[in-house]
Amino acid sequence: MRQALEYMSDYLEDSQGDIGAIRQKLKQIDDSLKQLQEQALTDYGNQFIQRNDYCVQYSQMRLNQVHILQQMLLPLQNIHLQTEQNTVLARLYYQTAEEFDEQNTGAALLADISVLYRYFQDTVLPKSRQEFESRALLYQLLIQFEHFLQEKYDFFIQHPLNVIIQLMQRTMQPND
């Protein structure tokens, strides 16, 4: 998902990116996550004493995030004007790609979204129709990206103990 976020960031920066490549990358991620979810469901079904659905829920959360990114492609591909707002939003996508990790709750990135909402509201109003349309699409992307981040935050809030247990189990496993 990091690479898809980086591609989206690059596209916002120069509008010369390849939406088809982003779409293809998201499809690959979607397919991989569906396989992960199938495996998680099988593993869950094989647990007898203490069932833990963390992996099932985690894969579903990531699938939800991929679907949000896929929905973001339509407004993204219709942005043709380079503005300061493009750059600011692109930086957020890139920062998210850099911080993308199972342990990251997304809380700090959600706080950054709040700052961006204020930034969008405080910047000078668009002077042309093209600027207005571009700003509207960027604002739509900001809202959708907030939903993307909120998915992870909500997951962490619902599974705080499971997240910690999973991390502890991974750090305790011997390296092969």
Q: What is the pLDDT of residues 25-40, one digit of tens each?
A: 999 999 999 998 888 7
Is 0.95 surpassed by the pTM of this model?
Answer: no
Q: Would you say residue 137 has pLDDT above 70?
A: yes
| Token output for 37 | 């979810």
Full set of structural domains in the chain with CATH: 2-102+111-166 (1.20.120)
d(CA 116, CA 110): 10
pLDDT at 168: 59
Mean pLDDT of 82-93: 94
Of the candidates 90, 64, 60, 66, the one whose C-alpha atom is nearest the C-alpha of residue 76 is 90
CB atoms within 10 A of CB 164: 11
Closest listed residue to residue 41, CA positions, set 49, 33, 165, 153: 33
